[in-house]
Amino acid sequence: MNGDDERPPTRALSEDECWRLIADAPFGRIAVAAAGEVDIFPVNHRVDDGPDGKAIVFRTAPGTKLLELTIHANVAFEVDGYSDEEAYSVVLKGRARQLERESEIQRVEGLGVTPWAPEAKDRWVRVETTEVGGRTFMRARNPQ
C-alpha cells in the first residue's frame, strides 16, 4: 500500500455478496477457450436457482460462442462495476451446457433474460458453478 493511501485494503467478497452483484449486473462476460484461443463475449444473463444449485443462464445464437461451449465446457464468467466510492469484480467458474430439455427451457424462460443484441437468441446456456469469488476496494478520492 502506498504510504499516503489511507484506504482500507482490498476485501474479499462473501459468496452471498458475489451472487447479489451477479444478479444485479445488467450483463457479464463469458470467457471460453477453443482451438488454443480464448474468446470473451458479453452476455445478458440471470441467476438461476435451479434444482442443481445456483447458476447463470443466458441466451445465444448458433455460432462461435455456442460451438466453443460445446467443445470446451469449462468457462469463466465475470461482472464488475464501480461507484464514486468503490469498485468490485466477481468471477464465477463453471461448466457450460446448452439446455435441451423442454422442461428446463420453459423454467428459465420465466427468468426474464432479454438480450440487448438484435439477432435472434434461441439457444439457452446454463453455467453450473464450481467456484465463485470476488473482491472490492475503496476508490481513491480525486484531489480538488
| All structural domains of the chain with their residue ranges | 11-132
103-144 confidence digits (pLDDT tens): 899 989 989 898 888 888 888 999 999 999 999 999 987 655
More confident position, 41 or 142: 41
pLDDT at 51: 80
Task: Using the structure block, give the residue that is written with the C-alpha cell 434461441.
Answer: 122
pLDDT at 2: 53
Collapsing DSSP to helix, strand or coil, 103 comes out as helix
Amino acid code (one letter) for 9: P
Q: Which residue, 125, 95, 129, is CA-closest to 108?
A: 125
pLDDT at 144: 53
**What are 138's strand-pairing partners?**
86
The CATH classification number of 11-132 equals 2.30.110.10
Q: Are strands 74-82 and 11-12 parallel, antiparallel or unpaired?
A: unpaired
Q: Taking residues 95-105, report their average pLDDT.
A: 91
Query: Which grid coordinates are listed for 29?
Result: 462476460
CA–CA dist 49, 47 (Å, integer): 7
Above 80 in pLDDT, residue 34? Answer: no
More confident position, 55 or 8: 55
